[in-house]
Structure 1
Amino acid sequence: MGRAFEFRKERKFKRWAKMAVQFTRLGKEIAIAVKEGGPLPENNARLRTAIQNAKAVNMPKDRIEAAIKRASEKDAKGYEEHVYEGYGPHGVPILVETATDNTNRTVGNIRSYFTKAGGSLGKTGSLDFIFSRKSIFRFQASDDLDLEELELELIDGGLEELYVEADEEGNDVIVVQTSFEDFGNMQRLLEEKGIELKSSKLERIPLSHTQVSEEQAADVMKLIDRLEEDDDVQAVYHNME
């Protein structure tokens, strides 16, 4: 009984910790969007996207509104976005997206994580041949949605791929992929069609993969976990098979 309780308690704590990290990252995204295009979602596509993604992970409405209000204040801190590229243990390429109010702190921490894991940071653009930046939109599948018909309708928005995947609860989710440049076009088209998005993001898709053993993968995941624990890190990508 005691062990079962402790296990449930640990799982609950991990869920809370994961949620807290998500909220912090989304709060930064909201702040960056407000600084870029103002506090009105109807006039700011990036802010609409940030709010949409926040709602998708059940970020409370009052917390979203508070983040927008904070970012609208004249003395609100600003965040700079930087991308760091390098190779982790066993030569696995890793790309790290960050949003920070202290670049020196961030690059120092990122370099330290790579070095301690037996990897190294590379120059900006050194992984361009491995990762391609794509626009990814996800929304709930439904019985009354004809995928073949939808695929034809989304071609004008720059559709590259449309497929179905399972979310964490095992529900079918439709994924729409376009080029980086077509993010706005597809977002507008989906909004016009009344499709309620679960998320819309710019993601890094690997063009090739690195084969590793289970032991090697465990070494790489330790580095990725450490990177994702850093408050300045927004996203981490790798190309492990």
Structure 2
Amino acid sequence: MAGHSKYKNIMHRKGAQDKKRAVLFSKLSREITVAARAGLPDIAMNSRLRSAVIAARKEGMPRDNIERSINKAAGNEGETYDEIRYEGFGPGGVALIVETLTDNRNRTATNVRLAFSKNGGNLGAPGAVSHGFDRLGLISYPASAGDAEKVFEAALEAGAEDVESNEDGHSIWTAQENLHEVAKGIEPVLGEPEGIKLVWRPQTSVDVSAEDAETLMKLIDALDDDDDVQNVSGNYEISDEIMETLG
């Protein structure tokens, strides 16, 4: 019985991982489609599409899937998605911004509202929390791209506003309108980045208790598991010790 139980647990975990991967690929495909429709279906001429393709490659999305999404957009096939942002509060007063791409506004609004209400949060009106965030461009490089001085000099020369480097890699911050221009300026020196995207950067952070952290992670997981949700940003700080207890 023990062996059978262990096998079932392994299969359950694999099934959960496969499901999460399928959801991730669905989200990436949507962003590629929307980006391709918003401009030319050519990564050399469409900066948003290039960013989406880089993100898809990083997550191991098959090349055929990427090309299929671009071709759908070029042929004006498939669903049309609306970009909708939701704002609200999670446990401990944490501010959250939820960005979605949806072909059914009512479904998405209902799912996001339920995720908040079932996990200790509440959905607010548009603008309820975004005033506490800055909209910035973020270019990410692995630590192997070079040492902190090399990355800083390349970023400064390209017009970046700030650079954060640690053992995990380099984060290069820009004004949102300069994101792709700065990325192009850095690439000849550091190579293709791991990521190019617009993000919501909190102006101040909220320290979250162990009890609130567990519920907050459930809320974020519930949102991330929704096909329509592309990104969840928050102003929370959770200590390494608490994160370890959450597994």
TM-score (norm 2): 0.86
Q: Give the structure 1 partner of residue 97 of structure 2.
A: 95
1:115-168 deviation line (CA, Å, top 9, x unaligned): 23343221222213322222111222238x3431331232243323323356xx
C-alpha deviation, 1:44, in angstroms: 1.1
CA distance in 2 between partners of 1:148 and 1:221 (Å): 35
Q: Give the structure 1 partner of residue 220 of structure 2.
A: 224
C-alpha deviation, 1:46, in angstroms: 1.1
The answer as to 2:193 corresponding to 1:197 is yes
- Within-5 A mapping of 1:53-202: 53-142=55-144, 145-165=146-166, 172-193=168-189, 195-202=191-198
% identical equivalent positions: 37
Counterpart of 1:152 in structure 2: which amino acid?
E
Higher helix share: 2
CA distance in 2 between partners of 1:125 and 1:191 (Å): 35
Aligned residues: 235
C-alpha deviation, 1:198, in angstroms: 1.4
CA distance in 1 between partners of 2:157 and 2:131 (Å): 27
CA distance in 1 between partners of 2:203 and 2:59 (Å): 28
> Do the aligned partners of 2:86 and 2:98 also contact (CA within 8 Å) in 1?
yes
TM-score (norm 1): 0.88
CA distance in 2 between partners of 1:173 and 1:10 (Å): 33
CA distance in 2 between partners of 1:188 and 1:205 (Å): 22
> Do the aligned partners of 1:158 and 1:179 also contact (CA within 8 Å) in 2?
no
149-158 or 57-66, which moves further after superposition?
149-158
Q: Give the structure 2 partner of residue 40 of structure 1.
A: 42
> Do the aligned partners of 1:111 and 1:121 also contact (CA within 8 Å) in 2?
yes
CA distance in 2 between partners of 1:19 and 1:160 (Å): 34
CA distance in 2 between partners of 1:97 and 1:218 (Å): 22
C-alpha deviation, 1:4, in angstroms: 5.0
> Do the aligned partners of 1:162 and 1:177 also contact (CA within 8 Å) in 2?
yes
206-215 or 43-52, which moves further after superposition?
206-215
CA distance in 2 between partners of 1:81 and 1:185 (Å): 24
1:175-233 deviation line (CA, Å, top 9, x unaligned): 21222222122121123336121111112222212223211111122111111111110
CA distance in 2 between partners of 1:90 and 1:102 (Å): 31
Q: Give the structure 1 partner of residue 243 of structure 2.
A: none
Give the gaps of 5 or more residues in structure 2.
238-247
> Do the aligned partners of 2:87 and 2:130 also contact (CA within 8 Å) in 1?
no
Give the gaps of 5 or more residues in structure 1.
167-171
Q: What SS does the aligned partner of 2:15 have? A: helix
The answer as to 2:184 corresponding to 1:206 is no
The answer as to 2:215 corresponding to 1:215 is no
RMSD: 2.1
CA distance in 2 between partners of 1:59 and 1:97 (Å): 21
Counterpart of 2:142 in structure 1: which amino acid?
Q
1:19-55 deviation line (CA, Å, top 9, x unaligned): 2122111101100111111212111111111111111
CA distance in 2 between partners of 1:142 and 1:219 (Å): 36
> Do the aligned partners of 2:154 and 2:189 also contact (CA within 8 Å) in 1?
no
